[in-house]
Structure 1
């Protein structure tokens, strides 16, 4: 006769509970997986499947989740999953930032779409870049790389080991700043050409005040911006591929530095 006690059931559940908490936290903040078009039940089922697949290969956790230490460990797994998810969001935030800057410079910042994820209006250029980067991300199997990094985190960051430190936030901020600098470098040609156009229109307005600067300058900036976007589209894929590779390397080696 099979006898089950509370301790055995608790131990059995803990095998799958701790990986599940980190995985579902990651899916709630990671790109693609955190999209509101994906049903919550789908995320939970996917998290359960991955948990059942990797749990037998993880070391045994002897901490009860009904204790105070178990509650702290529960919050710790949530923090790790959300941290990895937000780091993965850097690529899409970079594309949105580049689109917002371009839209502001060429005069298309008033043309906005409502973003269901951020619940704010984003410019049409940001929407275009976001769609392009999303297709690019999926075509390179970026979502599979994220799952690999998530599974690999259980070996770099054991569930019952606390390796978080105050320097981690500083490292994430430095890496995010580096990525944002790359987005500025991507839109720098448009900024320079628009600046030269504005300076030229200012000089023309001083030489001939009867010329309306608004009737000529705004269409000219829009024309220059669209013309430059035509050439930037050719380099957007190799540019963001470099950022994606740096992001994957950073996420893979993020916890190894400790």
Structure 2
């Protein structure tokens, strides 16, 4: 069977454009696209998803390879995938922000550790909450919903150019504001309680000047913070679940779906 260059080019393009969008998601999405995930695993995962998505696509016009229009389409597909994954990543960054605020209130602002996933130093409490958020994400089937949203986006809009516009970037900005406000709300109960503890210790130190603020106040704030975290930790599932639902809504709007069932 003879295969012409035009047929071979058409077959490659049918899979190449979806691969660009899926690859963009795997670059910026949390858990699946973390630096700790081997590159070969992510590449094989992207290829498997592309093989699943390709039969769902309608017939698309074939663009001449390596032309300006071809490169523009590749850039648009990759950019859309990066934007979708970035919105989901903001949920985890909001959790890390909440943990950092709690750690600073406990007096652990200096306690930081190297995080190979984020490639930077992160606070201990923030890293702990991020690990819990990762487990919750997998327990809530977040990875399956991400695959569902991604495959549905190809059914709705196989061409990313119809989705990229001022509205998409505005939606991504709105998601950032919402997610970081949620991170602040996650830390606010513990921070408020620790503020009362510090105020009470301030009154005690004024009444008894012989009390050493460093030797007494720091252990007191640390112990109170750990107790408050233990009390407040069950609410992490509710807050994180609500943040995920908002992220799915923003991502569905950016992908042209409207809302996921």
TM-score for the superposition, normalised by structure 1: 0.92
Task: State the secondary structure of the residue aligned to 2:19.
Answer: helix
Q: Provide the C-alpha distance between the structure 2 equivalents of 1:137 and 1:247, rounded to a whole number of angstroms.
A: 12
Q: Is the 8 A contact 1:102 1:190 kept in 2?
A: yes
Partner of 1:240: 240
Q: Is the 8 A contact 2:56 2:155 kept in 1?
A: no
| Aligned alpha-carbon RMSD (Å) | 1.9
Q: Provide the C-alpha distance between the structure 2 equivalents of 1:133 and 1:225, rounded to a whole number of angstroms.
A: 19
Question: What count of residue pairs does the alignment treat as equivalent?
Answer: 257
Partner of 1:33: 32
Tell which deviates more after alignment, 12-21 or 167-176: 167-176
- Check if 1:202 corresponds to 2:202: yes
**Once the 2 structures are TM-superposed, how far is the Cα of residue 257 of structure 1 from its aligned partner?**
8.0
Partner of 1:227: 227
Q: Is the 8 A contact 1:31 1:85 kept in 2?
A: yes
Q: Is the 8 A contact 2:30 2:88 kept in 1?
A: yes
Partner of 1:46: 45
Q: Provide the C-alpha distance between the structure 2 equivalents of 1:90 and 1:182, rounded to a whole number of angstroms.
A: 10
Tell which deviates more after alignment, 43-52 or 246-255: 246-255
Task: State the secondary structure of the residue aligned to 1:110.
Answer: coil
- 1:255–1:23 distance in 2 versus 1, CA, 3 Å: closer
Q: Provide the C-alpha distance between the structure 2 equivalents of 1:53 and 1:189, rounded to a whole number of angstroms.
A: 45
Partner of 2:89: 89
Q: Provide the C-alpha distance between the structure 2 equivalents of 1:246 and 1:184, rounded to a whole number of angstroms.
A: 16
Q: Is the 8 A contact 2:152 2:257 kept in 1?
A: no
TM-score for the superposition, normalised by structure 2: 0.91
Output aligned runs, 1:1-258, within 5 Å.
Answer: 2-62=1-61, 63-159=63-159, 161-256=161-256
Task: State the secondary structure of the residue aligned to 2:234.
Answer: helix
Q: Provide the C-alpha distance between the structure 1 equivalents of 2:57 and 2:239, rounded to a whole number of angstroms.
A: 37
Q: Provide the C-alpha distance between the structure 2 equivalents of 1:161 and 1:193, rounded to a whole number of angstroms.
A: 49
Q: Provide the C-alpha distance between the structure 2 equivalents of 1:180 and 1:36, rounded to a whole number of angstroms.
A: 23
Q: Provide the C-alpha distance between the structure 2 equivalents of 1:160 and 1:192, rounded to a whole number of angstroms.
A: 45
Q: Provide the C-alpha distance between the structure 1 equivalents of 2:250 and 2:167, rounded to a whole number of angstroms.
A: 15
Q: Which runs of 5+ in 2 are unaligned?
A: none
**Once the 2 structures are TM-superposed, how far is the Cα of residue 163 of structure 1 from its aligned partner?**
3.0
| CA distances 1:36-92 after superposition (whole Å, capped 9, x unpaired) | 332212221221122122212212232223211011111111101110111111221
- 1:5–1:160 distance in 2 versus 1, CA, 3 Å: farther
Q: Which runs of 5+ in 1 are unaligned?
A: none
Q: Is the 8 A contact 1:14 1:64 kept in 2?
A: no
